[in-house]
Chain A
Amino acid sequence: MTAVIRFIDVVKKFGHQTILDHVNVEFLKGKTTVIAGGSGQGKSVSLKLILRLMEPDSGKILVDGVDISRLSRKDLDEVRAKFGVLFQGSALLDSMTVWENIALPLRERTRAKKDELISRVDKALAQFGLSGHGDKFPAQLSGGMKKRVGLARATILNPDIVLFDEPTTGLDPQIAMDIYRLFFKTQQEFGYTSIIVSHDIPKVFNLADQVVILNDGKMTLFERPENIQHSTDPLIMKFVEQTMGDVYTSSEEL
């Protein structure tokens, strides 16, 4: 299986605090990787490093074999075009309507003609259950709808990799389940590689092909989520005890 993203000996510090300490990990193509860990352990930082919204203090991050730390602005844009990102707060542009937010990557990154633009955005609105809400502004939407708009925007260009930063934080369980269903549906349809940072451990592990646990600056990769239960590492055992409980329920509910 090919690694689409590789962390090689990555170190990231904030002041005296080491967030990532010589981390080596691979994210596999077409798979869903969940990054889990306590607050302040560097989960979101890892996503920002992948997108080069932050720079590591040392080490390399390779995307499709390319070291992104050495890229010019133009080449970096080419790499970023492979990604779709669903931000924690959705990060929709406040001054634009739902329709305009979803159309933004198409308008800016492609030469789609007006008719094609309209048809693709309208299709995305329907696909994500947003028909009839295209004229609304983000401030007029509920948290769950914002996430759906964010997911529609993230996937409109059929990206190779989609990053999810806490996709269900702040949502009630029913809406969180809707988001997971949408994620499951779109991943089946587009076949993208996904990396999910989440606190919602029991639910999100049902979607994972592999799991990365972040603890004290170290990343531990588990090829299968079930393997976490059998870890003898005391820190991982403590994490399992604190966070998972009845994690391995049936995935059918998704």
Chain B
Amino acid sequence: MIVRAIERLGATTSYHVSDLGRMAAFLGYTIIGCLRTPFRFGELVRQIRLIGVNSTPLILFIGLFTGMVLGLQGYYTLRKVGMEGTLGMLVSLSLIRELGPVLTALMVTGRAGSAMCAELGIMRNSEQFDALECMAIDPFRYLISPKFLATIIAMPILTIFFDLVGIFGGYLSGVVLLGVNPGAYMDGIVVKVLNEDINLGLYKSFSFALLVVWICTGRGYFVQQIKGAGFGAEGVSRVTTQAVVYTSIAVLLWNYLITAVFI
């Protein structure tokens, strides 16, 4: 019984170590693929449209309502200590430093990351990667690197949209609905939001983009090597779910670490 438990522990550890190694090699090949020629500029633009432009309405919607709720809750809390005038600062700093990058990353994971994972998983199962390799076409340069670059370009831009619309949402609920002084709201933003806050938000967004595209494309690419995933359509659906869960956890953990270091 104990021997079997130790064996199982050993097998699980060995699997996870090799899985991590596979994923690290995958990231390396993807970065090399970005540098290999001929570069597929048209595919990069197509991916920016799929990942970035098509996600914009969702990001704007969520950003607006997140900002509006922040405005309502912030007003309710600040009024207790007579500091409603600092609502603009509270909303903008919360969005720029935390909520913007994190919620954008989670939305992109759910919307585009899952799609990338499923697409690559289906391509793996239908031997499309093998076909590319047999035609002496590097699948990293051809398929994965454009997704990688597109996510890294699109996500910080989406985060900026989220932040701006969120601040506007806070203005709507705080100033228009609850009567906070508009000058005080704007002053809180202009005076209290520093370059380092914006840089932190963008740095977070950039690193989250790396995590999202790395985990989601990597899980799809290795769909047949993931333990317990199963085969065919079921395998792809399980791995896609796993990719979304792993990415969300990685984003939240990484967010805490960065915040703890930079605060």
**Which A residues are closer than 8 A to B by beta carbons?**
48, 51, 53, 73, 76-78, 80-81, 83, 85, 87-89, 91-94, 104-105, 108-109, 153
Q: Determine the chain B residues whose CB is within 8 A of the CB of A94 once the complex forms.
A: 122-123, 126, 128
6 CB < 8 A contacts A-B: A51-B134, A94-B122, A104-B135, A105-B135, A108-B136, A109-B135
A-B pairs with lowest CB-CB distance, top 10: A91-B131, A77-B136, A91-B127, A80-B136, A85-B134, A87-B127, A108-B137, A105-B135, A81-B136, A91-B128
**Which B residues are closer than 8 A to A by beta carbons?**
122-123, 126-128, 130-138, 142
Q: How far is the CA of A214 from the CA of B145 in the complex (A)?
A: 40
Q: How far is the CA of A105 from the CA of B127 in the complex (A)?
A: 16
Interface of B is mostly: helix
Q: How far is the CA of A105 from the CA of B137 in the complex (A)?
A: 8
Q: Determine the chain B residues whose CB is within 8 A of the CB of A81 once the complex forms.
A: 136
Q: Determine the chain B residues whose CB is within 8 A of the CB of A105 once the complex forms.
A: 135, 137
Q: Determine the chain A residues whose CB is within 8 A of the CB of B134 once the complex forms.
A: 51, 53, 80, 83, 85
Contact B137 A91 (CB under 8 A): no
Contacts beyond the supplied A85-B130, A87-B130: 16 A-B pairs with Cβ under 8 Å = A53-B133, A76-B136, A78-B136, A83-B134, A85-B134, A88-B127, A89-B126, A91-B127, A91-B128, A93-B128, A93-B131, A94-B122, A94-B123, A94-B128, A105-B135, A105-B137
> In whole Å, how far is A95's beta carbon from the nearest beta carbon of chain B?
8
Q: How far is the CA of A77 from the CA of B131 in the complex (A)?
A: 13
Q: Determine the chain B residues whose CB is within 8 A of the CB of A83 once the complex forms.
A: 134
Q: Determine the chain B residues whose CB is within 8 A of the CB of A108 once the complex forms.
A: 135-137, 142
Q: Determine the chain A residues whose CB is within 8 A of the CB of B132 once the complex forms.
A: 93
Among A89, A92, A104, contact of B137 (Cβ-Cβ < 8 Å): A104
Q: How far is the CA of A162 from the CA of B174 in the complex (A)?
A: 70
Contact B133 A80 (CB under 8 A): yes
Q: Determine the chain B residues whose CB is within 8 A of the CB of A77 once the complex forms.
A: 136
- In the complex, residue of chain A having the shortest beta-carbon distance to the beta carbon of B133: A53
Q: Determine the chain A residues whose CB is within 8 A of the CB of B136 once the complex forms.
A: 76-78, 80-81, 108-109
Q: How far is the CA of A104 from the CA of B134 in the complex (A)?
A: 12
Among A51, A89, A92, A93, contact of B133 (Cβ-Cβ < 8 Å): A51
Q: How far is the CA of A93 from the CA of B126 in the complex (A)?
A: 9
> In whole Å, how far is B204's beta carbon from the nearest beta carbon of chain A?
32
- On whether A85 and B123 interact (CB within 8 A), knowing A77-B136, A108-B137, the answer reads no
Q: How far is the CA of A23 from the CA of B135 in the complex (A)?
A: 27
Q: How far is the CA of A94 from the CA of B132 in the complex (A)?
A: 13
> In whole Å, how far is A138's beta carbon from the nearest beta carbon of chain B?
9
Q: Which of A85, A91, A105 neighbours the largest number of chain B CB atoms within 10 Å of its CB?
A: A91
Q: How far is the CA of A83 from the CA of B127 in the complex (A)?
A: 16
- In the complex, residue of chain B having the shortest beta-carbon distance to the beta carbon of A54: B130
- In the complex, residue of chain A having the shortest beta-carbon distance to the beta carbon of B43: A95
- In the complex, residue of chain A having the shortest beta-carbon distance to the beta carbon of B123: A94
> In whole Å, how far is A88's beta carbon from the nearest beta carbon of chain B?
7
Contact A53 B122 (CB under 8 A): no
Q: How far is the CA of A83 from the CA of B133 in the complex (A)?
A: 11
Contact B135 A80 (CB under 8 A): yes
- In the complex, residue of chain A having the shortest beta-carbon distance to the beta carbon of B46: A95
Q: Determine the chain B residues whose CB is within 8 A of the CB of A93 once the complex forms.
A: 123, 128, 131-132
Among B130, B138, B142, contact of A91 (Cβ-Cβ < 8 Å): B130
> In whole Å, how far is B170's beta carbon from the nearest beta carbon of chain A?
41
Q: How far is the CA of A51 from the CA of B127 in the complex (A)?
A: 13
- In the complex, residue of chain B having the shortest beta-carbon distance to the beta carbon of A163: B134
> In whole Å, how far is B15's beta carbon from the nearest beta carbon of chain A?
14
Q: Determine the chain B residues whose CB is within 8 A of the CB of A80 once the complex forms.
A: 133-136
- In the complex, residue of chain B having the shortest beta-carbon distance to the beta carbon of A165: B127
Q: Determine the chain B residues whose CB is within 8 A of the CB of A53 once the complex forms.
A: 130, 133-134
Q: Determine the chain A residues whose CB is within 8 A of the CB of B128 once the complex forms.
A: 91-94
> In whole Å, how far is B216's beta carbon from the nearest beta carbon of chain A?
17
Q: Determine the chain A residues whose CB is within 8 A of the CB of B135 once the complex forms.
A: 80, 104-105, 108-109, 153
